[in-house]
Structure 1
């Protein structure tokens, strides 16, 4: 058995990536699925769509590679985090569409619970925000006919997308998750390493619905999806999987992933750091029963702002066009686009903020909009890095490792380095999320190197160094900070 299959279940598509034992990509399959927006600020996924696209891409990637399923040593899973699934253990049928991490329907409830935020944060490392799974789960129990009664009778199960996929892959034999997904639910005590009965009580969540929590590299069951039984040996939420794939194993190492949103994680070692700047304290990974912690900053809109240029404004036909437009933009114009389409994440945490653009002139056109959109991602990352520096009392000579679709844009990465005033390293392998899941599974299966060997194999494709003058950098960032301040509702 010489291959590892990584399932990368994301916000807009499902992918299957087949790796060789030396963690080289052999084949890839991808399929998008529908996004549902039943009300303002609501985002849902059909769980059957997710399952169907995962199953089809897994079969397709094996066929494309021309291998036998018996050649696969193990499966690793990485997934969109916080997205909330509830299904009936008796039938496997979902009781409601999955409520996606971007969904803001529980914002009013979170405001009502504001007095409890300090105790929730102390236990879970998270803030009282609609982003996390706990209030989404409560909404389903309160709003789906019969759901609470069925849950209290032990008939319903809750899980993040990894749990739901494992349930389907194992034909209902395993209701499990890993520590990195559990810690994003707002129901998990990151210090005790267990579900928190006090927080579950605050949210009125029956603890019998919750999956068993395991290490990131562990036994998660076996699946016959491809014919022979194949073990599922690695699981991590997408941002933690990218942290692993970027080999950020030492305290002080930092990565930022640019997908639909942007998520920056800073490894803080075996001791959790409580943020005073409204960052999240989270589990970066857990191996051999020992958690490694991180500070995380979450930006809700990164690559999605480019999708908006394409699908909302219609000024581009593909994401690749933004670089040429940005380069052609009038340098005398300084537009600030605050992409608060679904509120603002860290460090502001304002679910009611909405997008705005400042600095428009009669000469502003598609090029200036494209540049402002790309720059917004760099500015938001600077917000996160400044908050991390404050929490850590400085970070020394910070180097940011980047990945995700947007990191392929040289223009965007150069601006990122300029506005951060720090080097930005882009690896040879940009599929770091799937790579992290594959390494977890392959390492557990004994076919991939240990942590030290894996870290040694990390390879740099290009380093971007700051070229912008410090005075210009700070002037531009001050303009951004002013623009954000004008959009905040809190």
Structure 2
């Protein structure tokens, strides 16, 4: 009797502070993985950059190391039937399409250098057309304003742009351009609908680039990537080199969309929250975009091949895990990130301390560009444990503000919150989250749902699965649920204190601060 070979899927997970590569079995369990951190570049206050070639190299290193583990465990690379990519969104990269040379460092999604550009664009007569077309408010967040800044400050990029050879891409596009090839060995310049919906070039109603939007940002000569569905059998080619050369790339999603897929939140009304460098909550609204009236983003959640798109409401928090990193690396309050939960729960409350972690302004649902990180309520009583607790609570309070906005926009109360990402590993953090929102928090045992989502999309691209019902056995073991241990009155009192702190953090940056520019 000939035994049927096993089928594995793989995923590149290129994040803000590290790159990871996973190989998953049929149950969604990782059988091999590797992670590599890389340097963050902070040229000025509020600026965040990455070296594009370091991103590419980190992916190559992770693929090589994880594949070696996979082979050492007795598996065969030919049993990896498909690969997916998931990536940090909005991060903007430009390069010369003739040579492949990146012409500026990648400007990361959390970078706030474009505040002055955003203020100017908001004064334009046509500015009120942006939100209905893109689902995004004019802010420092999307890619378009980052590209505009590069062209204003990089002579090399401007010259290539004027010559008509300046290519743009988010990180997925850059990786595919450098690591994959088409059926005839050609270079690829392609993205998926979820990443395209974060650029401010895409009309989310038509899923096509909008000439008005491109003109609005003055980027008519920019070379934009082709747009494909998130799960696609042909658009993303095959890996062009390395130990997995020839493996088909059939999935591509922005990281938060990938996490929604990885949590199997395929039905309207399902929600997930991912705690990474930032924190991102997505709420599945079905096949029609829902316009938010309460400070949320409307985005493309995912689109599988030959299927209609699925949309989501999104609440984006700029600072979550990076606040823990700040306590460790900048203030030295903790030695290791995993210490923060135990320290936070060693005190009954934050001792009156409220930390508004607006390191680059506040994102949803507030959208305050001129706020900065502010700690209120420090007294002689304050200890590091109180600051640790206030740091975690900052993410939890912002999650509550986003949940409240989602319920107002949808008219439906969220009864359960699926969670994943770094901070979700802490029982203490997730208990605080449940206590603040008053809703059950559901955490799977295998919490690499972002990478898993990319692998699921890739599996659909090669017909490993044909319906969502076939995923019932994937990542279903040992979920843990956290229930609120606070009263409604306690939750209301604490949240009102947070809201007061948000109001008081506004207006710290002056117009002079915002308009300050740095040239090459």
TM-score (ref. length: structure 1): 0.97
The answer to whether residue 179 in structure 2 is matched with residue 161 in structure 1 is no
SS in 1 for 2:116: helix
The answer to whether residue 473 in structure 2 is matched with residue 468 in structure 1 is no
The answer to whether residue 218 in structure 2 is matched with residue 204 in structure 1 is yes
SS in 2 for 1:489: coil
SS in 2 for 1:384: helix
Which 5+ residue runs of structure 1 have no aligned equivalent? none
The answer to whether residue 148 in structure 2 is matched with residue 138 in structure 1 is yes
Which residue among 226, 251, 257 is the counterpart of 2:242?
226
Distance 1:22 1:55 in 2: 26
Distance 1:122 1:485 in 2: 27
Q: Which moved more, 1:228-237 or 1:200-209?
A: 200-209
Distance 2:217 2:292 in 1: 23
The answer to whether residue 310 in structure 2 is matched with residue 302 in structure 1 is no
Report deviation, 1:237: 0.2
- Once the two structures are superposed, residues 76-135 of structure 1 have per-residue CA deviations (whole angstroms, 9 ceiling, x without a partner) of 000000000111111111000000001111111111111444211111100100111000
Mapped contact 2:29–2:475 kept (Cα < 8 A)? no
Mapped contact 2:28–2:475 kept (Cα < 8 A)? no
- Once the two structures are superposed, residues 415-464 of structure 1 have per-residue CA deviations (whole angstroms, 9 ceiling, x without a partner) of 11111111111112200000000011112112246312215645251111
Which residue among 209, 222, 232 is the counterpart of 1:195?
209
Match of 1:85 in 2: 93
SS in 1 for 2:137: coil
The answer to whether residue 331 in structure 2 is matched with residue 317 in structure 1 is no
Report deviation, 1:358: 1.1
Q: 1:458 to 1:21 in 2, by over 3 A?
A: closer
Which 5+ residue runs of structure 2 have no aligned equivalent? 1-5, 509-520
Q: 1:4 to 1:478 in 2, by over 3 A?
A: same
Match of 1:284 in 2: 301
Q: Which moved more, 1:253-262 or 1:144-153?
A: 144-153
The answer to whether residue 68 in structure 2 is matched with residue 39 in structure 1 is no
Q: Which moved more, 1:339-348 or 1:67-76?
A: 67-76
- Deviation beyond 4 Å, 4+ runs, structure 1: none
Match of 1:180 in 2: 194
- Once the two structures are superposed, residues 293-318 of structure 1 have per-residue CA deviations (whole angstroms, 9 ceiling, x without a partner) of 00000000011111111011101111
> In the TM superposition, what are the counterparts of 1:400-479 in structure 2 within 5 Å?
400-448=417-465, 450-455=467-472, 457-459=474-476, 461-479=479-497
> In the TM superposition, what are the counterparts of 1:364-379 in structure 2 within 5 Å?
364-379=382-397
Distance 1:253 1:423 in 2: 13
- Once the two structures are superposed, residues 37-95 of structure 1 have per-residue CA deviations (whole angstroms, 9 ceiling, x without a partner) of 11121110000110110001001100011144333211100000000011111111100
**Root-mean-square deviation (CA), in Å?**
1.6
SS in 2 for 1:390: helix
Mapped contact 2:407–2:414 kept (Cα < 8 A)? no
The answer to whether residue 165 in structure 2 is matched with residue 147 in structure 1 is no
Mapped contact 2:104–2:157 kept (Cα < 8 A)? no
Which residue among 44, 47, 51 is the counterpart of 2:56?
51
Distance 2:395 2:450 in 1: 20
Mapped contact 2:256–2:280 kept (Cα < 8 A)? yes
Mapped contact 1:247–1:458 kept (Cα < 8 A)? no
Q: 1:397 to 1:4 in 2, by over 3 A?
A: closer
Mapped contact 2:27–2:473 kept (Cα < 8 A)? no
Q: 1:245 to 1:443 in 2, by over 3 A?
A: same
Report deviation, 1:13: 0.6
